[in-house]
Every structure is written in structure tokens, then in C-alpha cells.
Amino acid sequence: MCDTIGIVGESALFAKNSDRSPNEPQVVECIPAARHSEKNLKTTYITVEQVPETRALLLSRPVWLWGGEMGVNDRGVAIGNEAVFTKGKYGAEALTGMDLLRLALERAETAKQALETIIALLERYGQGGNCGFDHRFEYDNAFLIMDKTELFVLDTCGRQWAYKSLPKAGISNVLNVGADADRRSEGGCDFAKKHRDPLFTYFSGAEKRRACTIADLTGEQGASGLMRTLRRHDEKAENPFARGTVSSVCMHAGGLVGDHTTQSMVVSLDGPAPLVWLTGSSTPCVSLFKPYLFGNEPVPPVFAAGDPAAQNYWLERERFNRRFIGANPPAGFYAERDALEAAFAAEAAKNAANPEAMRVLSADALRKEREFFSKWEKLIQPGGGGSARFRRYWNKKNAALGKGRPRRATA
């Protein structure tokens, strides 16, 4: 499950929560531009034809998969993908939606070119394969693809597709493009109506989450406003740390809810280089968004491709976040978090075009994050909230944390 947001116009902003198994580390890596002499490339499941050159990108990637959930490249193209539930049988092992996302970021200079790249690869190789970390999970994919000037929503079902250009969009785990598509692979059908699986779509909570993100698309809130959107909980969730909430944009697992927000990203595309805000961790409502200017040397939560410290960082933050399970974070925690982020944002607004100043800010944000979590780790008291089923769920997850699938190399 996921939610992706995009706005173009006076400002160009991208945001996404990646909702997956709560025990699945998701790392943020800088992948450099490269020239390639080899003819073929191994993705998650299949080998595809390689291109002579690939672009530099920042990719948020589940550790065992080749592709990524969200990312931005050196040309300011940003993409997020969504699991969507369609009628009929899903395809055999082919390209995953995350593979398609990474391939497009590596190969495209504009949003339109990224859109065309995904369509061409989809038609040639198809999509399919298990994308679940600790259980089997198959689906088709939707994408939000944007740069400074254009935004596209692309829906797919097998090798079929439809897309629409929009000035702003919020997408979730539901097909979006109807009879008003700009282009489609089939005749003049309502793509969403024809292909949507209504049962799985309903139980994903996607319609409610999508309505929430669309309601926030004013274009005036800036990056900080999109961070607030990514932290939104269903109004009926009195304490999401005591009950799973599939209908919340900031998704919390537990009981019958098996997905959890495991990574969050907001990108401003307005400057000379993308300014990226990252939690580097799960549960954005209790995490800090830290700034990183694309092109700078990696500073956690951003790491060089293949650095094992990336997974260790995620796990360290995750162990802190789980201290809140069954508890209710105090108001002082949120006030201090918000003050830190406001200070980061003020500095970033002054220095977004200054790589050295942004490098210093990223390092300072990391130091202050460590101090913040070290302080609150001593103050948070274990909670006993939640049903017996909820507590059993998290006891099982806690026992298995860090013992899942092995890390996959990115190259």
C-alpha cells in the first residue's frame, strides 16, 4: 500500500509514503551515472537490454529488490509507484513496478520520456512477480511521474495501460484513469472501470487515503505541508499506536492490518537541484524529515549504493519507533520534532542553491536527530494499549525484526 502526491505550477513538489511489511528495511541510496559496455541488465527477476548510459538518481529501495518505491534523478524527474488490484490473474515473473520505476529514472531526462520508457518496457517485457517481503504479494502498478513542468498518472493492468496529464494529483492503491485518458493501449474504454478489482481495492483503504491527499493539494503548503499530509491519520484513529489503520495516509500495522509506512520522501523540484526531505525510517508521524540536496555527498539517511550502513540506520530508527507501540507519544515530543524541522526548513530556504551550506545542514540535521532520539528514548514509557490480537501481532514482528531476507546489491 502507498500514497503518492504531485503538484506542478508555481511550485513543483513530489511526496510519497511507501507502505509495506513493517519488518522490511527500505534504504535510500545515491546511484551514480554510468556508462555501460554490457548488453544486458539483471533486474529483480528477469534480464533486460541495457542502455549505453544511465543517469544519476536517488532511490528509496526495499533491501531485497533491485527496483525502488520512489526516487528522483539528476534531471529532476520524480516517480512513485502504487500497487493496484486488477481483475484476472497477475503475470508471471517479469519486471516489477519498482523495476520499471528505477529503469525510467535511469533512462529519462523528462517526465514525458519517463512515461514513454515505462510504457515501452511494459509492452516488451510485461510485469509480474512476488513483491512481498515476508509473504507473497502480487499486483499491477500505477505511477505518478513528474518533473518541473509536467505530471502524468499512468495506470496499468498486465501489458495494458492508460495515462492522463494533470497539474496535480494524489494517487493510491486504486486505478485512477477513466474514460478521459489522454492515451490508452486499448480502445475507448473506461480503463479504471474495466480493470479494477473492487473487493481488494475496497479493503486496501485506498479510496479514503486518496481523498485525503487530494484534499490537501492546494499548491500553497510547500514541502512542510506535504510532510503534514504524509503524517495524516484517519480521524477515527484515536491512537494509531494501539490499532492498525489501513485508511490512514500514515499507515500503522497491527491486528488485521499487515502494512506499515516504512519510508517517506518529499521532493522540491524548484531549485537548480532537487531538494529532498527524508525520514530514512518508518512511521513518519514520529520521525524527523531531514534535508538532502541532490548531488551532495551522501549523509544519512542517504547512503552510497550498496553501503550496509543504510540498512543498519533503518533498523536503528525502527527499534526506536517501536517503543511507541501501545503507548501515546506525549505532546512535548511532537513540539520538539516540529521545532527541529522548522529550523531545518528555514536554513534550507536560505541555502537551497548552495551545495556546501546544504552539506553542512544535512550533517547538522543528522547530529540533532541523534540527540533528539537519544533524549526521548529515555523518556518514553512502554504502553499496554491495543487488543490482545494487536499485541500478539507486534510481539511476533519484534521477534523477527532484522532476521528477514538478505540484502540485495544495487548494481
Q: How far is CA 207 from CA 114, 204, 245, 348, in A?
A: 26, 8, 14, 34
* E strand intervals along 85-210: 140-146, 151-157, 160-165, 168-171, 183-184
Nearest by Cα to 211 from 164, 249, 246, 258: 249
DSSP H or E run through 150: none
Q: Identify the three-state secondary structure at position 304.
A: strand
Coil vs helix vs strand at 21: coil
Pairing mode, if any, of strands 26-31 and 302-304? parallel
| 60: enclosing H helix or E strand | strand 57-62
| Omega cis (within 30) before 240 | no
Cell of 174: 486504486
Active site residue 2: yes
**Cβ atoms within 10 Å, residue 333:** 16
271 Cβ partners below 8 Å, 6+ apart? 352, 353
- Return the residue matching grid coordinates 511550485: 11
Which candidate in 2, 131, 212, 285 is catalytic? 2
Of the candidates 164, 135, 178, 116, which has an alpha carbon nearest to the alpha carbon of residue 22? Answer: 135
321, 283, 260: which is closest to 22 by C-alpha? 260
Q: Say which amino acid occupies 253.
A: A
DSSP string, 210-273: HHHHHHT--S-SHHHHHHHHHT---TT-S-TTSS-BTTSSS-B-BTTB--EEEEEEEEE-SSSS
The C-alpha atoms of residue 383 and residue 397 are separated, in whole angstroms, by 16
- Number of neighbouring beta carbons within 10 Å of residue 328: 13
Active-site residue set: 2
